[in-house]
């Protein structure tokens, strides 16, 4: 069988592609602008190569903060234009205001405008090319699922919602107890005997095995999968694909086989990593408490008019190894908010005061938690600590929920920057998937990634 596949860029490859061509387009633009317009503020040469490095670092940093490397944003023409404007403006401003590492401010103000439009224009042109060409249907990844028929919708939604370039064309029903024909979302129910032909005719990139019933993998199906493998086609297990694309661990599909995910990240036992992280946490906590002291008068005034009552609020939360501690926050709810009993907070909770809603959106209410971080009860990054009553409730329906407690809870985390405020048990399941992914892949690189996303969350006012 002749193998023919369409070109497809994986998620990580597209992010690398965006970063490389952002830098190349900006540097090429500045080079040609320097020749055409006698622009001499920024010159690329061996004697001032560090100017180029600083500009590149600023561009990548602010691009990450303002979501230029979020693939959903990068694929949307209008969202990416907004991101380009903010990122290029902030990059130019930071570059101009750090003359110790960058050229001295030009005396001719026109030079500053040329500098800005050279960077903005380069990013704009390249990103429009990306939206029209690289983010188009020319580069979708065509996939076939082998799964039970009742799983199809959930599996397809989970993959395609996470990656807009991931396209499930059809599925092979591995449920031997029910082989009835199914028509779902224009997906073809592929007969086992037609699998190889379908793969060849539709330029399928890979086959994903998601069946949880081994009796559905018949000898005939198994032999065809082996034949595809021998011909260079990729065959992967669903949980691996799901984790790679969504950056979550699909606990609902691993069932009792969850032991396969242990041990988690080696960083959890790496003394050097833990020491460096603890040092940075103390520094960040001291800075956070300093900023908190500055904003306390503003919070007091806001409380006086729109949030009458105590300034602070404490509540029991479950920490590392299941140890209960009291979390400290600026109060955002009315008095006696839980006189009818403990309930999940919601995104438009009527118990939250008008000023409290402002504090939640801007994350100002979280500043007192830097005291918990300084005490060592919390970390800057980790799963959000939950109340004991909810931990017991959720753990009854999610056997792996308490796995979150193997590390310290955090002020921000992988779940917080990737998912909206959880209001239900289903939301808790999704956030658990993100938390377990962080625990499994914990590293300084992932920590910095979370910090960048946290800046975006605060700047774009996406608090609770």
Q: How do residues 135-158 score in pLDDT, each as one tens digit?
A: 666 667 888 888 877 778 878 887
Q: How confident is the model at residue 124 (pLDDT cuts 50, 70, 90)?
A: very high
Mean pLDDT of all residues in 372-390: 93
The proportion of the chain whose per-residue pLDDT surpasses 70, expressed as a percent, equals: 84
Residue 138: the pLDDT is 60
Q: How confident is the model at residue 346 (pLDDT cuts 50, 70, 90)?
A: low
- What does the mean pLDDT of the chain come to? 82
Residue 461: the pLDDT is 56
Domains of the chain by start residue, with CATH:
11-134 (no CATH), 140-246 (3.40.50.11060), 266-459 (no CATH)
Mean pLDDT of all residues in 295-310: 83
In contact, 91 and 120? CB cutoff 8 Å:
no
Mean pLDDT of all residues in 280-295: 94
Q: How confident is the model at residue 2 (pLDDT cuts 50, 70, 90)?
A: very low
* Cα separations in angstroms, 98 against 42, 117, 375, 410: 14, 19, 35, 32
Residue 390: the pLDDT is 86
Reported as a single tens digit per residue, the pLDDT across 30-55 is 888 888 887 777 777 776 778 888 89
Residue 338: the pLDDT is 63
Q: Is the pTM of this model over 0.85?
A: no
Q: CB within 8 A of 196, min separation 6: which ones?
A: 1, 224, 227, 228
Q: How many helices (H) and strands (E) does the chain have?
A: 17, 9
Mean pLDDT of all residues in 421-448: 84
The proportion of the chain whose per-residue pLDDT surpasses 90, expressed as a percent, equals: 24
Mean pLDDT of all residues in 196-219: 81
Q: CB within 8 A of 229, min separation 6: which ones?
A: 235
Residue 11: the pLDDT is 66
Reported as a single tens digit per residue, the pLDDT across 236-273 is 888 888 888 888 888 776 655 555 555 567 777 788 99
CA-CA-CA-CA dihedral for 34, 37, 42, 46, to nearest 10: 30
Reported as a single tens digit per residue, the pLDDT across 49-106 is 788 888 999 999 999 888 888 877 888 888 899 999 999 999 999 898 887 777 777 7
Give which of 44, 20, 23 is closest to 32, Cα–Cα. 44
Residue 74: the pLDDT is 83
Give whichever of 160-169, 336-345, 380-389 has the largest mean pLDDT.
Answer: 380-389
Q: CB within 8 A of 12, min separation 6: which ones?
A: none
Give which of 131, 137, 132 is closest to 160, Cα–Cα. 137
Residue 57: the pLDDT is 92
pLDDT at 164 over 80: no
In contact, 63 and 25? CB cutoff 8 Å:
no
- Residue 220, Cβ density class (10 Å: 0-12 exposed, 13-18 middle, ≥19 buried): exposed
Residue 151: the pLDDT is 77
Higher pLDDT, 262 or 439: 439
Q: How confident is the model at residue 1 (pLDDT cuts 50, 70, 90)?
A: very low
The one-character DSSP state at 402 is: G
Work out the number of other CB atoms within 10 angstroms of the CB of residue 227.
Answer: 14
């Amino acid at each position: 069988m002749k193998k023919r596949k369409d070109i497809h860029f994986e998620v990580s490859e597209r992010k690398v592609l965006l970063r490389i061509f952002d830098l190349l387009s900006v540097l090429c633009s500045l080079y040609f602008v320097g020749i055409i317009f006698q622009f001499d503020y920024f010159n690329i040469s061996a004697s001032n190569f560090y100017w180029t490095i600083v500009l590149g670092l600023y561009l990548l940093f602010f691009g990450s903060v303002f979501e230029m490397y979020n693939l959903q944003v990068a694929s949307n023409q209008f969202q990416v234009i907004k991101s380009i404007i903010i990122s290029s403006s902030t990059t130019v401003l930071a570059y101009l205001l750090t003359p110790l590492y960058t050229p001295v401010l030009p005396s001719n103000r026109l030079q500053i405008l040329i500098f800005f439009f050279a960077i903005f224009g380069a990013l704009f042109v390249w990103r429009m090319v990306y939206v029209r060409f690289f983010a188009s249907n020319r580069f979708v990844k065509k996939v076939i699922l082998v799964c039970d028929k009742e799983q199809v919708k959930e599996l397809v939604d989970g993959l395609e919602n996470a990656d807009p370039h991931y396209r499930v064309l059809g599925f092979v029903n591995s449920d031997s107890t029910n082989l009835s024909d199914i028509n779902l979302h224009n997906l073809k129910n592929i007969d086992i005997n037609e699998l190889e032909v379908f793969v060849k005719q539709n330029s399928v990139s890979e086959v994903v095995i998601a069946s949880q019933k081994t009796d559905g993998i018949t000898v005939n199906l198994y032999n065809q999968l082996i034949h595809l493998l021998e011909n260079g086609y990729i065959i992967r297990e669903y949980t691996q694909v799901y984790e790679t694309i969504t950056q979550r661990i699909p606990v609902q599909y691993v069932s009792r086989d969850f032991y396969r995910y242990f041990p988690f990240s080696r960083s959890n036992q790496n003394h050097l990593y833990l020491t460096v992280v603890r040092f940075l946490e103390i520094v960040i906590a001291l800075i956070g408490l300093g900023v908190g002291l500055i904003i306390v008068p503003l919070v007091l005034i806001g409380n006086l008019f729109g949030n009458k009552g105590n300034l602070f609020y404490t509540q029991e939360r479950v920490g590392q190894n299941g140890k209960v501690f009291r979390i400290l926050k600026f109060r955002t709810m009315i008095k006696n908010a839980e006189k009818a009993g403990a309930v999940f907070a919601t995104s438009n909770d009527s118990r939250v005061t008008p000023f409290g809603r402002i504090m939640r959106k801007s994350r100002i209410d979280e500043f007192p938690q830097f005291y918990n971080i300084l005490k060592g009860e919390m970390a800057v990054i980790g799963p959000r600590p939950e109340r004991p009553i909810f931990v017991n409730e959720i753990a009854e329906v999610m056997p792996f929920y308490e796995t979150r407690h193997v590390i310290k809870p955090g002020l921000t985390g992988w779940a917080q920057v990737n998912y909206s405020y959880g209001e239900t048990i289903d939301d808790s399941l999704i956030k658990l998937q993100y938390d377990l992914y962080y625990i499994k892949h914990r590293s300084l690189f992932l920590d910095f990634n979370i910090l960048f996303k946290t800046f975006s969350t605060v700047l774009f006012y996406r608090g609770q």
